[in-house]
Amino acid sequence: MHLLVMMTFAALTATTLAAITNEAETPRERLVFGLKTFGGFVGIGLVISWIIYFIP
């Protein structure tokens, strides 16, 4: 359940950031930026969760 909520938050945030960014001018660049942002959110979230898992 937590993974689903994290991925939903990442998707909504990445979509919003891709829509308002000035770095991407074409729709393709916005899509790539959104996917990279989504992957970053999910990847960092998973890494942090594994680090916290091993802390007693």
Residuewise pLDDT in 10s, the chain (56 residues): 899 999 999 999 999 999 999 888 899 999 999 999 999 999 999 999 999 999 98
Cα gap 17→12, rounded to integer Å: 9
10 Å CB burial of residue 1 (0-12, 13-18, 19+) is: exposed
What pTM value is reported for the model?
Answer: 0.87
User: What's the confidence (pLDDT) of residue 44?
Assistant: 97
Cα gap 18→12, rounded to integer Å: 10
User: What's the confidence (pLDDT) of residue 24?
Assistant: 83
- Please give the DSSP secondary-structure letter assigned to residue 54: T
Q: Which residue has the tokens 């945030």?
A: 13
Token pair, residue 10, equals: 């990442």
User: What's the confidence (pLDDT) of residue 56?
Assistant: 80
| Domain limits, the chain | 2-53
